[in-house]
Chains A and B, each alone.
Chain A
Amino acid sequence: MPHIDRRIYEHPIITFNRGKRVIFYFEGHPIEAYEGESVAVALYALGVDVFSWSPKFSRPRGPFCMIGKCSSCFMTINGVPNIKACKYPVREGLVVERQRGWGLLAKSSILEDYKPASSEKIETDVLVIGGGPAGLIAALTAANYDLNVVIVDEHFKLGGQLLKQTHKFFGNVELFGGLRGFQIAEELAKKIALEKRIRVLMSTIAYGVFRGGYVGVVGENAHYIIKPKALIIATGAQEKYLDFPNNDLPGVIGAGGAQTIMNEFGVKPGESALVVGSGNVGLIVAYQLLQAGVRVRAVIEILPEIGGWFIHAAKIRRYGIPILTRHTIKYVEGDVRVRKATIIAVDEKFNPLPGTEKEFDVDLVLLAIGLEPDSRLAIQAGAVVKYMPELGGFVPVRTRFLETTVKNMYIAGDISGIEEATAAMLEGKIASLAIVSRLVDTSRSSKALEEAEKVLKFLWEEYRASPLLLRAKRGKEAVTISINELEDLRKKFPSPVSFG
């Protein structure tokens, strides 16, 4: 066991209130952790960089996304293999082991005490998958009109990626502007807790949508079959990957993954970092690294211009962090963790220019090259999707009220195309109000529609009027269709599933 303490005890923005001390076992060693931490974070805090070895070439693997979207942190916990350690809360006495190759069920121990999980059938008005900004606003909006709501979220805390955002939000005061992301998460979670009509299923995964309008949801020792009148998928997005030699070395982490480690859990992701990509995520993470006491050597950007907003760039430039445009990463080196990264300049056609290499001694290479909508569940349900580079990948085609080609199945937030949390909250509100208008009596229905129109107008005509959001706006316009077009698509590509 390495003897390192990566926990952050002093931070300019966040106070880390750690829970009760618990002891669990990692390959025979007792590990001290704090309630509220995930197994992955507790191990990382003590200097564990390698979480598993790959099946084919036994290459070391470390954490990458830290939000349950990838397989980098699969571990065997209490004999059960392939558990996402990033989403598994620490508990007294857990037995955690790394996997060499495929995880195998320890047949004797598990199968002998195997008891099928209890299965509960739930009928509800609205099922919201994903407890981030879009999902939480959607749930609160529906509950406000007296609808019953179930929220399913894979994490053990509500808030989605708001939990790791330490900067103050833009927008206006009505949209939580001025509050920091984690403060917005706290506020929303408090409101949700007060709503008797909202039931929250934490640490659960929606694993499939089935004929008859059922959604299967599974947690540890729990199984739910949920039949909602309407479904809102607000599953967010995942970090994109980049090809370069040794990109699987521990220490190559998604920018969002590093934010989770340092801002949600108060653990330093490394000592010295290179950030790849200068979109808002890259610029913001560079600033947050600085706040966490991590040295930032540079932010690199393959394009001739900085990708994100000037104000975010200015925040790191004034502390002397260089933003190297027209540069890309060539390779990283290291044995069990990144030790060195080599970057190279590119010409106008993005061809590397030999002889322009620069080396950085870093133990952290953060990928901030963009996000990809997590549309897997919508695709499985049979929604018609379109590949939209300006939106980050495959997104469901939808009406302006965010209904997909699967009847009464809506989307909101990054799954509909990558924007940011404010737009996600507005979309959550629109989708929810559209559902409300279908499920409540006439007088309240027209009130809900009126409210939806107001939000739509603000989102499309004022908020997205910003030239900095133009690319995403155009992408969203291209996949937003009329009711007639929706009906045509439904005939052409009928889904076996519908809700309502």
Chain B
Amino acid sequence: MIYVEKFTFRETGVIKLEELKRLNLLPPQERLLKGPVAILECPEEIPCNICVPFCPSKAIQMESIIALPKIVWDKCTGCGICVAVCPGLAAFVVDISKQDADYVTIPHELLPVPRVGDKVMILSRSGEILGEGVVIRVWERNKTYVITIKVPKGLGLEVRAILSKPLK
């Protein structure tokens, strides 16, 4: 029998890359290296399929309202609509195909809203400060800001939040 390590995200509130991979939520390496692609960090069978009808490329599939989302990786263009509409703020777009830096697109619902060119603190899934990033693009949909940040090479799969200034 193969020993399967237990998922720990229900204890920690932080999902590990290998857990995302086991749930088929992480794009394969070849796809990641091709350019921007969505990652839906949605590991539980919650009754929600909002991302499906909104995806302009019809790249997200769900067998039922409680199924985990499945992305057809080659259809996904990394446009970021899912980042804007996901009620769980669980959608991200990652681009690790560039030489100089990685690019991460995240949902943001805190004040202040950063502007293009701002330097911001970049945070991991557990709120650890990973360094500094630069805001590349900002757009909004129903008060969810979709923010693309340029982050140091190697951090594309780690950065999941930003802050313009430290929390109180």
Stretch binding the partner chain, chosen from A232-240, A318-326, A361-369, A476-484: A318-326
Q: Does B13 contact A (CB under 8 A)?
A: yes
Q: Which residues of A contact B50 (CB under 8 A)?
A: 168, 170-173, 177-178
Q: How far is the CB of B29 from chain A (nearest CB, A)?
A: 23
Tell me the complex Cα distance, A319–B163, Å.
Answer: 8
Q: Are A170 and B143 in contact (CB under 8 A)?
A: no
Tell me if B127 and A317 are in contact (CB < 8 A): yes
| Interface-located stretch among B93-101, B109-117, B147-155 | B109-117
The distance in angstroms between the C-alpha atoms of A495 and B47, with both chains bound, is 38
Q: Is the CB of A291 within 8 A of B90?
A: no
Select from chain A the residue with minimum beta-carbon distance to B14. A317
Contact B44 A311 (CB under 8 A): yes
Q: What separation, in Å, do the CA atoms of A287 and B122 have in the docked complex?
A: 18
A462 touching B46, Cβ below 8 Å? no
Contact with B along A413-432 (1 / 0, CB 8 A): 00000000010000000000
* B127 near A319: Cβ-Cβ < 8 Å: yes
Does A242 interact with chain B (Cβ within 8 Å)? no
* B88 and A178 contacting across the interface, CB-CB below 8 Å: no
Encode B21-63 as 1/0 by CB contact (under 8 A) with A.
0000000000000000000011111111110011000000000
Contacts A317-B12, A319-B123 given; does A309 touch B111 at CB 8 Å: no
Tell me the residues in window 134-183 of chain A with beta carbons closer than 8 Å to chain B beta carbons: 167-173, 177-180, 183
Interface status of A199 (Cβ within 8 A of chain B): no
Chain A interface bracket (under 10, 10 to 19, 20 to 34, 35 or more) = 35 or more
Can you list, as one digit per residue, whether each of B144-168 has a CB less than 8 Å from chain A (1) or not (0)?
1000000000000000110100011
Collect the chain B residues with CB atoms within 8 Å of residue A467's CB: 44-45, 66
Contact of A318 among B111, B113, B124, B142 (CB under 8 A): B124
**Does the CB pair A310–B113 fall under 8 Å?**
no
Q: Contact: A170 with B47, CB < 8 Å?
A: yes
* Choice from B13, B64, B127, B143 contacting A310 with Cβ under 8 Å: B13
Q: A11-B111, A306-B10 are in contact. Are A290 and B47 (CB under 8 A)?
A: no
B65, A463: Cβ atoms closer than 8 Å: yes
B127 lies within 8 A of A318 (CB): yes
Q: Whole-angstrom distance between the alpha carbons of A318 and B108 in the complex?
A: 11
For residue B5, CB closer than 8 A to chain A, the reply is: no
Whether the Cβ atoms of B123 and A468 lie closer than 8 Å is no
> Which of chain B's residues 118-134 have a Cβ closer than 8 Å to chain A?
123-128
- B9 contacts the other chain (Cβ, under 8 Å)? yes
Q: How far is it, in angstroms, between the C-alpha of A295 and the C-alpha of B89 when the chains are bound?
A: 21
Q: CB of A454 within 8 A of chain B?
A: no
Is the CB–CB distance between A469 and B47 below 8 Å? Answer: yes
Provide the bound-state CA to CA distance between A167 and B13, in Å: 18
User: Which chain A residues (329-353) contact chain B, with CB distance < 8 Å?
Assistant: none
Asked if A318 and B160 sit within 8 Å, CB to CB, the answer is: yes
> Across the interface, do B11 and A312 meet the contact criterion of CB distance under 8 Å?
no
Q: Bound complex: CA of A422 vs CA of B63, how far in Å? A: 20
- CB-CB under 8 A from A422, the residues of chain B are 47
> Judging by beta carbons under 8 Å apart, are B109 and A314 in contact?
no
Chain B interface residue bracket vs A = 35 or more
Selected from A170, A304, A318, the residue in CB contact (under 8 A) with B11 is: A304
| Given known contacts A170-B46, A311-B89, A319 and B161 CB-to-CB distance under 8 angstroms | yes
**Cα of A398 to Cα of B59 in the assembled complex, Å:** 42
* Distance between Cα atoms of A466 and B123 in the complex (Å): 31
Which residue on B lies nearest to A422, using beta carbons? B47
B43 touches A310 (CB 8 A): yes
Evaluate contact between A314 and B90: CB separation under 8 angstroms. Answer: yes
A116 at the interface (CB under 8 A from B): no
Knowing A180-B142, A318-B126, say if A309 contacts B65 (CB, 8 Å). Answer: no
Is B111 a contact of A311 with CB atoms below 8 Å?
A: no
A317–B11 Cα gap in the complex (Å)? 12
Task: Check B90 against A290 for contact (C-beta < 8 Å).
Answer: no
Confirm or deny: A110 has a beta carbon within 8 angstroms of a beta carbon on chain B: no
Contact of A177 with B87 at beta-carbon distance under 8 Å, contacts A13-B109, A468-B46 already known: yes
Q: Which of the residues B46, B49, B126 comes within 8 Å of A311, measured between beta carbons?
A: B46
In the complex, are the beta carbons of B109 and A310 less than 8 A apart?
no
A466 partner, pick from B45, B87, B142, beta carbons under 8 A: B45
**A313 at interface (Cβ–Cβ under 8 A)?**
yes
Q: Which residue of A lies closest to B124 (CB)?
A: A318
The interface residues of chain A lying within 8 Å CB-to-CB of B53 are: 172-173
Which listed residue, B88, B110, B161, touches A12 by the CB 8 Å rule? B110
Contacts of A170 in B (CB 8 A): 46-48, 50, 87-88
A172 to B88, CA, bound (A): 13
CA–CA, A310 and B42, complex, Å? 8
Contacts of B125 in A (CB 8 A): 314, 317-318
| CB of A94, distance to nearest CB on chain B (Å) | 34
Contact A169 B124, CB 8 Å, known A311-B42, A313-B13, A467-B45: no
| Least Cβ–Cβ distance between B56 and chain A, in angstroms | 15
In the complex with contacts A172-B49, A305-B10, A317-B126, A311-B110 CB distance below 8 A: no
Choose among B13, B85, B143 the residue that contacts A316 (Cβ–Cβ < 8 A): B13
Q: Which residues of B contact A178 (CB under 8 A)?
A: 50, 54, 85, 87, 142
Cα distance, A183 to B144, chains bound together (Å): 14
Cβ contacts under 8 Å, B42 to chain A: 311
Q: When the two chains form their complex, are residues A323 and B144 in contact, meaning their CB atoms are under 8 A apart?
A: no
B136 at the interface (CB under 8 A from A): no
Does B15 sit within 8 A of A, measured CB to CB?
yes
Contact of B9 among A169, A173, A293, A310 (CB under 8 A): A310
Q: Smallest distance from the beta carbon of A385 to chain B beta carbons, Å?
A: 27
Q: A12-B143, A309-B44 are in contact. Are A320 and B88 (CB under 8 A)?
A: no
- Please name the 7 residue pairs, one residue from A and one from B, whose CB atoms are nearest each other, closest first: A320-B127, A313-B13, A311-B88, A170-B48, A168-B87, A317-B13, A318-B161
Footprint of A on B, CB under 8 Å?
9-15, 41-50, 53-54, 64-66, 85, 87-90, 109-111, 113, 123-128, 142-144, 160-161, 163, 167-168
Other A-B pairs beyond A323-B13, A467-B66, 5, CB < 8 Å: A177-B49, A313-B13, A314-B41, A317-B125, A320-B127
14 residue pairs from A and B, CB less than 8 Å apart: A12-B109, A170-B88, A178-B50, A183-B142, A309-B88, A311-B41, A314-B9, A319-B127, A319-B161, A320-B126, A463-B65, A466-B47, A468-B45, A468-B46
